[in-house]
């Protein structure tokens, strides 16, 4: 039976998945930008995401707003607990957001270089930090419930544990690969061949890291596996995930880049769904005492707010998805540099 709290668990999940798929390739392109030398190719990178990156980032802002509205205790506890990490993330996103426009209007190659760096690092750091954040959530954070109040003893350096860093590197490689696959749809010639090369190499690293991460999770956060092994949903997700990972190099080898991108998107969605399924109904597990975890029930807003928000989401999101598809269709195909381009 799906109640309101479960519905909002799913909806926040959908927003995070939407963000990871859409801004995921933006971030990946940014990481690849750090390794791009040629000015024409750099411009193709930027213009490949130029018209859409801003809309993509709104998925993050909306996920943040939805988390605040539906699970305020999680919003308050995690964001204040991860304070310094958040400031790093915000700094990266600020520099990234202005880098395209600032770069466009800079005259000299040297001043443009600084904004290339801002775009690159502003993408690399978030791609890494999202993984570190998810790693810490899966690992559990030091929070306790005392008299109905959350008491947290999270420290910045506590967040940088080896397990979470492993998940961070995994997400960095994942988004880089996703970005390279997106770029194959947007560029041609030698640049595209280099992207194919990136995909193949990143795929191998990704598979190794994913196996390592799964093993590490099994030993490190064993509770995540209890219960879900017997859940048929887990096996369905697992099979689709497995198939989509395997299909990426096949599609790339057959030069079916559109299908490779679809496959990569499905893969990202399934990875997040698997984490969500194993966490459920917890949102922030406690590393001190699992019974002290924040769950979709003890950290949520009232049914009235959840209902109002559900109506807002059900009216608003189909429209958003509608015009997002429209925009992507308008800018479909290879990048064409014009007078208005970055």
Partner 1 sequence: MDSILLARIQFAMTIGFHFLFPPLTIGMSWILVLIETLGWKRKDEIYIAAGKYFGNLLGLIFAVGVATGVVMEFQFGTNWAEYSKFVGDIFGAPLAAEGVFAFFLESTFLGLYIFGRGRVSKGVHWFSALMVAVGATISAFWIIVANSWQQTPAGYIVRNGRAELTDFWTAVFNPSTLPRFFHTVDASLISGAFFMAGISAYLVYRNKGGEISKKTLKLTVIFGLIVSLLEVFPFGHEHGRQVAQTQPEKFAAIQGLYTSQSGAPVALFAYPTDHPPTLKAPIEIPGLLSWLAFGDVNARIQGINEFSKEDIPPLFLTFVSYHNMVLLGIYFILITAIGSYLIYRKKLFENTKVLKILIWSIPLPLLACQLGWIAAEVGRQPWIVYKLMRTRDAVSVTVSSGELIFSIALFFIIYLMLGSILLYLLIKKIKKGPDQISGKEALS
Q: Which two tokens stand for residue 339?
A: 């007078």
The nearer residue to partner 1, 52 or 169, going by C-beta atoms, is: 52
Q: How far apart are CA 196 and CA 248, in angstroms?
A: 11
From candidates 57, 195, 203, 294, binder to partner 1 by CB under 8 A: 57
Taking each helix axis as running N to C, give the angle between helix 162-186 and helix 4-33, from 0 to 180 degrees, rounded to the nearest 10.
70
CB of 248 to partner 1, least distance (A): 28
From candidates 3, 61, 239, 297, binder to partner 1 by CB under 8 A: 61
Binding to partner 1 by residue 109, rule CB under 8 A? Answer: no
CB of 191 to partner 1, least distance (A): 20
CB of 244 to partner 1, least distance (A): 27
Cis amide leading into 281 (omega within 30) = yes
For residues 146 to 175, the per-residue mask of contacts with partner 1, x marking binding by CB under 8 A and - elsewhere, is --x---x-x---------------------
From candidates 6, 10, 102, 200, binder to partner 1 by CB under 8 A: 102
The nearer residue to partner 1, 95 or 261, going by C-beta atoms, is: 95
Q: Helix/strand/coil (H, E, C) string of 251-276?
A: HHHCCCHHHHHHHHHHHHHHHHHHHH
Considering Cα of 56, then 60, then 61, then 65, what sign does the dihedral take? positive
From candidates 40, 54, 197, 289, binder to partner 1 by CB under 8 A: 54
Buried b or exposed e, range 301-339, using 16+ CB within 10 angstroms: beeeebeebeeebeeeeeeeeeebeeeeeeeeeebeeee
Taking contact as CB under 8 A, which single stretch among the options 94-102, 130-138, 179-187, 227-235 is the one that binds partner 1? 94-102
Q: How far is CA 63 from the centre of its chain?
A: 11
HSE, CB side, 13 Å, CA atoms: give it for residue 200: 11
β-partners of residue 295 are: 282
Could you tell me if 89 and 129 are in contact, meaning their C-beta atoms sit under 8 angstroms apart?
yes
DSSP classification of residue 148 = T
Could you tell me if 22 and 53 are in contact, meaning their C-beta atoms sit under 8 angstroms apart?
no
Could you tell me if 61 and 132 are in contact, meaning their C-beta atoms sit under 8 angstroms apart?
no
Contacts to partner 1 from residues 14-53, by CB under 8 A: 50-52
From candidates 6, 68, 144, 201, binder to partner 1 by CB under 8 A: 68
From candidates 35, 94, 238, 297, binder to partner 1 by CB under 8 A: 94
Considering Cα of 286, then 159, then 82, then 122, what sign does the dihedral take? negative
Binding to partner 1 by residue 65, rule CB under 8 A? Answer: yes
Q: How far apart are CA 206 and CA 113, in angstroms?
A: 29
Binding to partner 1 by residue 66, rule CB under 8 A? Answer: yes
The nearer residue to partner 1, 58 or 277, going by C-beta atoms, is: 58
CB of 79 to partner 1, least distance (A): 3
DSSP classification of residue 239 = H
CB of 207 to partner 1, least distance (A): 33
CB of 90 to partner 1, least distance (A): 5
CB of 157 to partner 1, least distance (A): 13
Element (H, E) at 87: helix 83-105
Q: Is 291 in a helix, a strand, or coil?
A: helix
Binding to partner 1 by residue 79, rule CB under 8 A? Answer: yes
Q: Can you give the binding site for partner 1, defined by CB under 8 A? A: 50-52, 54-55, 57-58, 60-62, 64-70, 72-73, 75-81, 83-84, 86-87, 90-91, 93-95, 97-98, 100-102, 105-106, 148, 152, 154, 301-302, 304-305, 308-309, 312-313, 316-317, 320, 323-324, 327, 330-331, 338, 340-341
């Amino acid at each position: 039976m799906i109640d309101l709290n479960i519905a909002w668990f799913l909806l926040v999940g959908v927003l995070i998945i939407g963000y990871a798929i859409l801004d995921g390739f933006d971030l990946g392109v940014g990481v690849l930008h750090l390794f791009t030398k040629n000015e024409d190719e750099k411009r193709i990178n930027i213009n490949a995401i130029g018209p859409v990156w801003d809309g993509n980032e709104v998925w993050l802002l909306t996920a943040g707003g939805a988390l605040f509205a539906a699970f305020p205790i999680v919003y308050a506890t995690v964001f204040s607990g991860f304070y310094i990490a958040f400031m790093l993330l915000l700094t990266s996103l600020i520099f990234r957001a202005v880098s395209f426009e600032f770069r466009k209007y800079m005259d000299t190659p040297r001043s443009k270089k600084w904004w290339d760096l801002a775009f690159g690092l502003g993408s690399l750091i978030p791609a890494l930090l999202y993984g570190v954040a998810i790693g810490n959530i899966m690992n559990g954070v030091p929070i306790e419930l005392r008299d109905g109040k959350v008491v947290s003893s999270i420290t910045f350096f506590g967040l940088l544990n080896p397990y979470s860093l492993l998940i961070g590197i995994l997400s960095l490689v994942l988004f880089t690969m996703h970005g390279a696959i997106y770029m194959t749809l947007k560029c041609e010639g030698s640049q595209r061949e280099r992207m194919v090369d990136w995909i193949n190499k990143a795929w191998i690293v990704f598979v190794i890291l994913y196996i390592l991460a799964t093993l590490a999770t099994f030993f490190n956060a064993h509770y995540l596996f209890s219960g879900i092994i017997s859940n048929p949903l887990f096996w369905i997700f697992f099979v689709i995930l497995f198939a989509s990972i395997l299909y990426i190099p096949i599609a790339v080898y057959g030069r079916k880049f559109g299908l490779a991108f679809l496959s990569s998107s499905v893969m990202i969605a399934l990875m997040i769904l698997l984490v969500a399924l194993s966490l459920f109904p917890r949102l922030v597990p406690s590393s001190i005492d699992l019974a002290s975890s924040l769950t979709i029930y003890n950290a949520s807003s009232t049914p009235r707010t959840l209902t109002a928000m559900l109506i807002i989401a059900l009216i608003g999101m189909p429209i958003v998805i509608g015009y997002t598809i429209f925009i992507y269709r308008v800018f479909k195909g290879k990048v064409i540099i014009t007078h208005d381009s970055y």
